[in-house]
Structure 1
Amino acid sequence: MEDESKNLMINNPFFLLLSSVSYSYFLATYIPKGLARVIFLLPTFYLLSIFPWYFSSSVLRGVLSFFVTWITSFKLLLFGFNKGPLFACKNYLDFVAIAIFPLKIKENEPPLNLSQSFKTLSSIMGRYELVRIFNKPYLATSLQDFWGRRWNRLSSNILRQTIYEPTQNALVGVVGAGKARVLALITTLVISGIMHELMFYYISCGMRPTWEVTWFFVLQGISMVFEGALKYLARVKGWTPVHPAVSNVLTLGFVSLTFYWFFVPPVWRSGRNECGFRPRV
């Protein structure tokens, strides 16, 4: 009976998810920040990586690989260096909620006191609000506006903290501020592409990546650099600014066309639901 209970827990993906986050909160907190804590979090990263395989729906695997395998892992990576949203969590419930779900604690919300008589679930959940993922992307007037401020702000913010800012800070003293920003931008878009390839890997039941999705994001990064250079040249030459309506059409047209070229083929080729295997812990 005891063995059956253990097997049920091991085969329960939500138990594995909760236990991995609990391990990070109760044990990793006592490890000094930096590389040592990140190494200590490796078992958690592993469990988060196999979590989507427990689900038969390809769509669900794709969604979970984004929110859990990618975003939760990157939040914990920041936590390893005492940064990011998890570092600000002062209790276990906040840590779990912010780690797993696209939530943030409301501004001016007092700390949750678990020593008091336990509150109702509705009052506890009232402490949080959903992170605004999209900000009217159809109004974007430039690629920088689209990718940096309007499209999937959840991934944009986490990539900025984990990839862009550290890369820029590491390079600014070597190549200068301007080149550091460009290289940090390209690096960030490459990592974004790789993480999207990972999502397709889960959706397609482990098919070998074609790297089309990665090239899509590389192209977006190069185009953003070119766009910035054109804007700078326009200011220097005193050219008449492009009307926002025209910029909007050009931006959405470019994103849509390149999306069709690079994203649609892998989706058509990877339409599989049941993978026929279960993950091993």
Structure 2
Amino acid sequence: MVVCDAFQTAIHLLGPDSFGSLRGGTIFDARLPLVPRYLFSSLISLLTATGIYFSITMLYHTATVAGFALAPDPRAWPPLSDAPWAATSLRDFWGRRWHQLFRRLFVQIGARPAQAVFGRAGGVLGGFALSAVLHDVCIWGMGRGTAFPQIGGFFLLNGVAVIAEQAFERATGRKVRGYAGWVWTMLFVLATGNLLVDAWLTRGLAGACAIPDFIRPTWLLAQLWPALRPALL
């Protein structure tokens, strides 16, 4: 909870009247030159992705504690993620390391039917396409329209890149892995993630908080700071 709150607070502080608020705003600052603009938007994307990871993990652990009382079998509560920052290929990132909450849905309804019609590559794109639709429906549920060009672009570009990895491995006999694979994976997810994060934050997603203020560490620190400041300084 502490880490999750810290990352969300950082986004609020960096864009208090735009992308960090409920009103929302783009992460691309037109006042900045091209390279600093995209470095800044990539920083916001990284903070957002990390905050989402810890938010989902926090909620899953909370559900695990409650659910374990009903089903005290560790096999019923497998790890949700596996250190996505350590992925050495996009297939490794999406297929194993990022959270697997919707894996069965994407495979059974998206990937397998598409593979039966369009082959292996079609199956990969089918799974990513269904993920894009699901995430776009979540945006639509906020009552601020949809953003499929951006959201679909993110997921389908990642699907194409996974197919490219598979083609590379078949052509060279070498797997995408190691340090070079890690750099490739992190840079690609971060670069394309700008599309997804901009769609979310433009619609005010970062202004909401999954943690009530009265238990947020940063909110509590802000309330206690006037009393603590004289003693610390």
Return the TM-score normalized by structure 2. 0.54
Query: Are residue 165 (structure 1) and residue 104 (structure 2) matched?
Result: no
* Partner Cα separation in structure 2 for residue 242 and residue 225 of structure 1: 12
Code of the aligned partner of 2:97: R
1:247 CA displacement? 0.9
Code of the aligned partner of 2:193: F
* Partner Cα separation in structure 1 for residue 96 and residue 176 of structure 2: 20
* Length, aligned pairs only: 144
- Alpha carbons of 1:140 and 1:123: their partners in 2 closer, same or farther (altered >3 Å)? closer
Higher RCO by CA contacts (8 Å cutoff, separation 6 or greater): 2
* Partner Cα separation in structure 2 for residue 242 and residue 166 of structure 1: 27
Structure 1: gaps of 5 or more residues = 1-62, 68-100, 104-120, 172-178, 275-281
* Partner Cα separation in structure 2 for residue 182 and residue 242 of structure 1: 17
- Alpha carbons of 1:158 and 1:131: their partners in 2 closer, same or farther (altered >3 Å)? farther
Do the aligned residues in 1 keep the contact of 2:89 with 2:177 (CA within 8 Å)? no
Query: Are residue 124 (structure 1) and residue 70 (structure 2) matched?
Result: yes
Which of these residues, 167, 170, 186, is aligned with residue 232 of structure 1? 170
Match of 2:192 in 1: 258
Which of these residues, 122, 129, 141, is aligned with residue 183 of structure 1? 122
Match of 1:51 in 2: none
Of Structure 1 and Structure 2, which has the larger fraction of its residues in helix? 2
Match of 1:216 in 2: 154
Match of 1:76 in 2: none
- Alpha carbons of 1:144 and 1:122: their partners in 2 closer, same or farther (altered >3 Å)? closer
1:257 CA displacement? 1.3
Match of 1:156 in 2: 103
* Partner Cα separation in structure 1 for residue 69 and residue 192 of structure 2: 45
Structure 2: gaps of 5 or more residues = 1-51, 57-61, 209-233
* Partner Cα separation in structure 2 for residue 163 and residue 266 of structure 1: 23
- Alpha carbons of 1:222 and 1:127: their partners in 2 closer, same or farther (altered >3 Å)? same
Return the TM-score normalized by structure 1. 0.45
Superposition RMSD in Å: 2.9
Displacement over 4 Å in runs of 4+: 240-243
Describe how 1:86-105 pairs up with structure 2 within 5 A.
none
Do the aligned residues in 2 keep the contact of 1:132 with 1:154 (CA within 8 Å)? no
1:206 CA displacement? 1.4
Q: Which has the larger radius of gyration?
A: 1
